[in-house]
Homo-oligomer: A and B are copies of this chain.
């Protein structure tokens, strides 16, 4: 029996992506809530995992099905209703006050910022993924000597109407990269090498450490000027060296950004939530979320949220869904956060560690107040 009321205030989702506007068949739907490049082993299903359970439990009723309808029934009903109707239902039911949307991943198959805003009927802002910008720069034609300048120009331009920048350095070089700014001549040389590789392979993918560092520091500079937070992917992902994505490996860069007064928002953090939480205690500029982790841990999401509260400062915890492709993932991120946070705080209350008033302050801080403050959305 809970002593706290349900958490029904609007949430500011500070890190998310667009949804797919088109219909998805059974196979496509499953692939959209998997982090694997391959389908599950023959004879098994993506529904048979924690995230599959909570889709069936919480999403089925919004499509007029019984809770725990089968995966097959679920996808059939989803097709019957059509993606547009489904997406509208989930996005509206999520209870968001605003969405901050990373537009740098698979942007050709998912909705953009304006479309997401319309779908969810709330304001939305763009978060610019800096590695995608660097890749755009070389795609649009530049020589080695001109790369750094063009990158800077493009980042400035792309961030004009944005609200924050984001780096996925963890994916590209891992956090075990030299975290200082490279010298100009190093950047020219690395850009030359990269351009040659692109010419040879036909593929554009930023993975060179020097280019990564140049991109990171160019972005940091803009964050400093614009008072933008820098979002930093941390921990779990679809193709990462997990051990090298512990955010405590990124301490040197974090410290440098502290000197520059740039807020660093560490995203996801699993399975390094304890490390991330502790960094909020040490560094003035560190913020954390557990986006995507709530969804992938489903029935265990309450434990995840409890862990994020373990040592982190309450003024440093943010809410995000990190939803992508499926509007279900937005809705679930919201629902599981509300259930899990309430349960965690209710335990504290019953153990005598908390008052109702403190519970409210913590909930409001995480739900929107911390994000409004650091993303300059107050007043």
Once bound together, how far apart are the Cα atoms of A301 and B277, in whole Å? 15
Tell me the bound Cα distance from A48 to B370 in angstroms.
Answer: 12
**A48 adjacent to B361 (CB under 8 Å):** yes
Q: From known contacts A296-B281, A313-B48, A355-B68, infer whether A251 and B258 are also in contact, taking CB-CB under 8 Å.
A: no
Distance in angstroms between the alpha carbons of A355 and B311 in the assembled complex: 32
- Mask: chain A, 294-321; 1 = CB below 8 Å from B; 0 = not: 0011111011001001111111000000
Does A358 belong to the interface (CB within 8 Å)?
yes
Whether B57 and A239, one on each chain, are in contact in the complex, defined by CB atoms closer than 8 angstroms, is no
Return A48 CB to nearest CB of chain B, in Å. 5
CB distance from A353 to the nearest CB of B (A): 4
A298 to B10, CA, bound (A): 28
Let me know if A39 is at the binding interface, CB within 8 A: yes
- Also in contact, A299 and B348, with CB within 8 A (given A68-B355, A310-B50): yes
CA of A236 to CA of B355 in the docked complex: distance in angstroms? 29
Interface stretch of the complex, out of A16-24, A86-94, A137-145, A242-250: A242-250
Are A358 and B315 interface neighbours, CB within 8 A? no
In whole Å, how far is A292's beta carbon from the nearest beta carbon of chain B? Answer: 11
Q: Which residues of B contact A315 (CB under 8 A)?
A: 40-41, 43-45, 48-49
- Given A44-B313, A270-B274, 4 extra CB contacts under 8 A: A36-B284, A49-B313, A53-B348, A242-B278
A residues neighboring B (CB under 8 Å): 34-36, 38-41, 43-46, 48-50, 53-54, 57, 68, 236, 238-239, 241-243, 246, 248-249, 251, 258, 270-271, 274-275, 278-279, 281-285, 296-300, 302-303, 306, 309-315, 348, 351-355, 358, 361, 365, 373
28 A-B pairs, CB-CB below 8 angstroms?
A: A36-B284, A40-B315, A41-B284, A41-B285, A41-B315, A41-B373, A44-B313, A45-B315, A46-B313, A48-B314, A48-B361, A49-B311, A49-B312, A49-B315, A50-B311, A57-B352, A241-B251, A242-B278, A242-B279, A243-B275, A270-B274, A270-B278, A271-B278, A296-B311, A297-B311, A299-B354, A300-B310, A300-B311
8 A-B pairs closest in CB distance:
A271-B274, A299-B353, A242-B248, A44-B315, A49-B313, A38-B284, A299-B348, A300-B310
